[in-house]
Amino acid sequence: MEKLELLRQKVQASLAASTDPAHDFSHVMRVYSMADHLCKKEGGDPDIVLPAALLHDLYHVPKNHPDRAKASEISAVMAEKLLREIDYTKEKIPHIMDAIRSHSFSRGETPLTKEAMIVQDADRLDAIGAIGIARLWVTGAQFNRALYCAEDPFAEKGRKLDDMKYGLDHFYEKLLKLKDKMNTETAKKIAEE
């Protein structure tokens, strides 16, 4: 069996019990598909990009958890174990781990390699557009967040944005900023559409 297919099956099994539709197997496969597209357009190494995209969210920490920024590091360590189990090319594993570590918005890290940039862009593209909007409201509902602040919905009266309290605030704290944070030219064009 092809190693990518084996990884896909392992990820699917690992996420089967996920109760977070914003970070489920469908999310992983959308990121994988976009990473594949970006890799072909940008010239990245698919032997790094594709496994990293499949394994980028192996470990999920809820958005409101204080250790949220550590999720990508833990996912990278878990990915290393899976990659070694299937005898993946040893020289590629550190690069895959780097791309997984670097993809996270919460971590605030700028990716240094083309492959890490591609994985980060693919994940960020899944956070915008119609799917991104759906993911935002699903996540807000999971944490019983109000849709918006009735007294000051757009924080125009001095209220500080708080996306842990109001779903609408997440547009202004993250989603509307993502198009300007894309790394690759292809992702920048897609984000503008």
The per-residue pLDDT for range 71-89, each reduced to its tens digit, is 788 888 889 999 999 999 9
Beta strands in the chain (DSSP E): none
Residues 159-167, mean pLDDT to the nearest whole number: 92
CB atoms closer than 10 angstroms to residue 118:
35
- CA angle, 106 as apex, 103 and 108 as ends, to 5°? 70
- Assess whether pLDDT exceeds 60 at residue 92: yes
Is the distance from CB of 49 to CB of 35 less than 8 angstroms?
yes
Residues 181-190, mean pLDDT to the nearest whole number: 95
Mean pLDDT for the chain overall: 89
Task: Tell me the β-bridge partners of 166.
Answer: 146
Residues 163-179, mean pLDDT to the nearest whole number: 88
pTM above 0.85, yes or no: yes
Residues 119-128, mean pLDDT to the nearest whole number: 94
- Assess whether pLDDT exceeds 80 at residue 68: no
In this predicted model, which residue has the larger pLDDT, 41 or 142?
Answer: 41
User: Domains along the chain?
Assistant: 3-192 (1.10.3210.50)
Burial (CB count within 10 angstroms: exposed 0-12, middle 13-18, buried 19+), residue 57: buried
**CA dist., res. 157 & res. 185, Å (int):** 37
User: What DSSP element (H or E) covers 185?
Assistant: helix 185-192
Residues 18-62 have pLDDT tens digits of 777 778 899 999 999 999 999 999 999 999 999 999 999 887 776
Q: pLDDT at position 64, please?
A: 66
Q: pLDDT at position 109, please?
A: 75
Instruction: List Cα–Cα distances, 149 to 82, 94, 153, 159, in angstroms.
Output: 44, 44, 5, 9
Distance of CA 116 to the CA centre of its chain: 12
Q: pLDDT at position 58, please?
A: 83
